[in-house]
Structure 1
Amino acid sequence: MESDESLSRLNADPAAGLARQDIDRLSVDELHARIALLEAEIIRCRAKIDASVNHRATADALFKR
């Protein structure tokens, strides 16, 4: 059985975990790679938001007729 501490780590917000990481030890190349990964995640999140909004608008339009 897992301890409460290990369960809370599993449920932790990944973005909050990233914000707590020490980036002082990273090289410039590693920082650029990290930024590229974060920018890709932002694009993915925005695409999900757009899809959700469009899906909702389509459903609203369908049921309002």
Structure 2
Amino acid sequence: MFDDAENRPRPQGQHQIGQHQIGQDLSALSVSDLDERIDALRREIARLEEDRRRKQASQEAARAAFKF
């Protein structure tokens, strides 16, 4: 049987971002590994914030369109 880590259930509170799982043990990671993960997480935060701004603007436009 093929053991696919992507399909295994994660402990509650852990989400995978690239190779990083939120809440994982960091003791085995080098400074370089940590820097890479920090950069990836910052990019992901920027992506989430942009999507949130876009959705918020869409909601505000819809509210304005239906305002009487």
Q: Which amino acid aligns with 2:15?
A: P
Distance 1:41 1:54 in 2: 20
Query: 1:40 maps to which residue?
Result: 43
Which whole-Å CA distance do the structure 2 matches of 1:51 and 1:14 have between them?
Answer: 23
5+ residue gaps, structure 1, are 1-6
Matches of 1:47 and 1:61, distance apart in 2: 21
- Number of residue pairs the alignment of both structures matches: 57
Unaligned 5+ runs, structure 2: 1-6
**RMSD across aligned positions (CA):** 2.5
1:9 aligns with 2:9: yes
The normalised TM-score by structure 2 is 0.68
- Give the % identical residues: 28
Q: Distance in 2 between matches of 1:32 and 1:41?
A: 14
- Give how far 1:55 is off: 0.2
TM-score under structure 1 length normalisation:
0.71
Runs of 4 or more, structure 1, over 3 Å off, are none
- The corresponding residue for 1:29 is 32
Q: Kindly indicate which of the two structures has a greater share of residues assigned to helix.
A: 1
Ranked by relative contact order (alpha carbons within 8 Å, sequence separation 6 or more), the top structure is 2
